């Protein structure tokens, strides 16, 4: 479990670099509020990873109450907080940068779909079956970041020729 926590931190560090890469374009488009959303999403996942590592170390010796508190905090940080903010960043970036024509329609609509599903994970706080939106929204949003990164790289490379 500690190895998983470390891999999560590495993954989210890559996302933070993606946010940093889009930040100038987002600020130029008047959406300077979006990069902090991405960074808070990153911080939430780092907190979740730290809690996960702590759980791995303490679970066998801690009280049931302590384990439950750590488990719930892990869920709220790495689940709901991380995924909802990730979805807000993805949806907002797709909207703003699509309007600026940095992204074409397919990338923009993929971002809308992924971001919406991630935002719907907020419902998991009240509706058990909405927990499905957590992994689906997270995975689709992370796939969108890869797609968007490739699109931006290719566009910048084509413009520099």
What proportion of the chain, given as a percentage, has pLDDT over 70?
99
pLDDT tens-digit readout, 32-46: 999 999 999 999 999
What was the pLDDT predicted at 32? Answer: 96
| Nearest C-alpha neighbor of 88 from the set 26, 152, 147 | 26
Q: Rounded to two decimals, what is the model's pTM?
A: 0.92
Q: CB–CB of 50/4 below 8 Å?
A: no
* 5 pLDDT above the threshold of 80: no
* 134 pLDDT above the threshold of 90: yes
Domain boundaries, the chain: 2-159
What is the average per-residue pLDDT within 114-119? Answer: 98
Cα angle vertex 122, ends 121, 126, to 5°? 110
Task: Return all residues near 48 (Cβ < 8 A) that are at least 6 apart.
Answer: 8, 74, 77, 78, 79, 82
Helix (H) / strand (E) element for 82: namely helix 82-99
| Rounded CA separation 88/84 (Å) | 6
| Rounded CA separation 55/51 (Å) | 6
For residue 50, which phi and psi values (nearest 5 degrees)?
-65, -40
pLDDT tens-digit readout, 138-160: 999 999 999 999 999 998 888 88
What is the average per-residue pLDDT within 12-23? Answer: 94
- Residue 131's pLDDT band (cuts 50, 70, 90): very high
């Amino acid at each position: 479990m500690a190895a998983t926590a470390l891999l999560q931190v590495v993954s989210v560090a890559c996302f933070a670099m993606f946010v940093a890469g889009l930040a100038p374009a987002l600020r130029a488009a008047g959406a300077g509020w979006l990069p902090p959303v991405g960074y808070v999403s990153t911080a939430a996942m780092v907190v979740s990873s730290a809690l996960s590592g702590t759980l791995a170390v303490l679970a066998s010796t801690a009280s049931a109450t302590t384990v439950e508190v750590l488990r719930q905090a892990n869920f709220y940080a790495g689940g709901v907080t991380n995924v909802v903010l990730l979805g807000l960043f993805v949806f907002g970036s797709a909207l703003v940068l699509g309007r600026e024509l940095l992204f074409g329609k397919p990338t923009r609509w993929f971002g809308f779909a992924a971001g919406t599903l991630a935002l719907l994970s907020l419902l998991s706080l009240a509706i058990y079956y909405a927990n499905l939106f957590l992994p689906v929204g997270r995975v689709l949003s992370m796939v969108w970041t890869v797609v968007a990164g490739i699109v931006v790289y290719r566009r910048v490379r084509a413009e520099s020729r």
